[in-house]
């Protein structure tokens, strides 16, 4: 497999060896990645840069909260507050 894939997926050595033995796996992975890239390109074209920036910020905040150990219930409360603010702005 391409060395670049190792920067995307951290495969343990034993799993990497087993994966190499799967017939056609590289072709299937390549098709899957091509589909994902095409879908991402369509999403990028579908949504405005502002919407994409908002999603990016939300994902970053979610990762920060997860790293800080914020529990799910607290996260849902924050989501409900954000959702209410968004719907009021529409």
**Residue 5 pLDDT > 60:** no
Query: What distance lies between CA 22 and its chain's CA centroid?
Result: 26
**Residue 81 pLDDT > 80:** yes
73: alpha, beta or left? (left if phi > 0; alpha if psi -120 to 50): alpha
Measured distance CA(34)–CA(31) in Å, rounded: 5
Would you say the pTM of this structure is higher than 0.75? no
Measured distance CA(75)–CA(82) in Å, rounded: 11
- Give the angle 61-67-68 at the CA atoms, nearest 5°: 90
Q: What's the mean per-residue pLDDT of the chain?
A: 86
């Amino acid at each position: 497999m391409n060395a670049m894939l190792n920067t995307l997926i951290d495969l343990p050595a034993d799993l990497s060896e087993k994966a190499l033995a799967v017939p056609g796996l590289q072709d299937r992975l390549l098709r899957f990645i091509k589909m994902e890239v095409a879908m991402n390109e369509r999403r990028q074209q579908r949504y405005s840069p502002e919407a994409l920036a908002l999603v990016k910020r939300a994902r970053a905040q979610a990762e920060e909260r997860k790293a800080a150990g914020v529990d799910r219930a607290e996260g849902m409360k924050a989501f409900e507050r954000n959702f209410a603010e968004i719907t009021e702005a529409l």
